[in-house]
Amino acid sequence: MPRLLTTALAVLALAGCGLLGSGEASETPAPAATTSTAPAAEASATPGATDASSTEVPTSVINLGEHGSYGVVTLDLDAWDVRVDWPQDPEGTDLGEYIEDHPGIAVLTNAGIFSEDLTPGGLLVADGEELRALNLADGYGNFHLKPNAVFEIRKDGTAAVVDSTEYRAKGVTQATQSGPALLLDGEVHPLFTEGSENTALRTGVGVSPDGRTVYLVITRTYVNLWDFAVMFRDELGVEDALYLDGQISQLWVSGYAEPTPYLGPYAGVIAAYPR
């Protein structure tokens, strides 16, 4: 996350997060566990996109009071083509421009934490091609809060979140590395503290135990990493989940507000198209 926190906070009120609310840390409670759908964009020649005119994106709001409010996109991999991409533009990836360039896209979020030079902080695989190598180095910041992890899509049509040290490239078609891992094998990251006052707006990705469903989540209020991880486990039934980024992140769904350029640009992205 290479921009200053103060800059991100200054534009949040103008920007909104695109999914199920403004993304501001409001004292107003969100509706509890409300499920809704948004119409997907119409299809085109984009790989993985078919007739989207009758397809809806499953979205929901999970409100846990003092433990946060969350916007959730639920992607059944039998119905959704989930992809990782990095356009490698030296000026970074603008979400609005990416949507314009990829007709048929229905869901888009910036992927894992990236560097000052607008390159992914670690592994990124797009359509089977490794664009950035796995990063197992030690360092400062969330990415290096070990264990970190890789979100991956496999040739067999399943997804997973795996400890970065256990990542194996064989059979992986899409992947992004970030950190810290929120959950691995149902266990909250050992360095998270329940009740921590280190709160922020955050995005993350989780995978169902059978690997057939991907959950993309953005917080609607400031939350700590412990609460974020526990929400994936207790509310979504996820055993493995990964923190993607915070404060500047956006999660766009077709039919909701367009992404704002003020929080970007980014590096890699995670996108979904109806099959």
Report pLDDT digits (tens) over 158-175: 999 999 999 999 999 999
Q: Which is more confidently placed, 242 or 50?
A: 242
pTM over 0.95, yes/no: no
Could you tell me the pLDDT band of residue 111, with boundaries at 50, 70 and 90?
Answer: very high
Domain, as residue range, for 255: 5-23+37-274
> Is pLDDT above 70 for 21?
no
Does 244 map to a domain?
yes
pLDDT at 7: 30
Does 178 map to a domain?
yes
Does 32 map to a domain?
no
Q: What is the pLDDT of residues 233-246, one digit of tens each?
A: 999 999 999 999 99
- Please give the order of strands across the beta sheet that includes 107-110: 80-85, 269-274, 107-110, 251-253
Does 144 map to a domain?
yes
Does 29 map to a domain?
no
Could you tell me the pLDDT band of residue 38, with boundaries at 50, 70 and 90?
Answer: low
Q: What is the mean pLDDT of residues 55-73?
A: 95
Number of domains in the chain: 1
Does 31 map to a domain?
no
Q: Give the distance from CA 121 to its chain's centroid.
A: 15
Instruction: Provide the mean pLDDT of the chain.
Output: 85
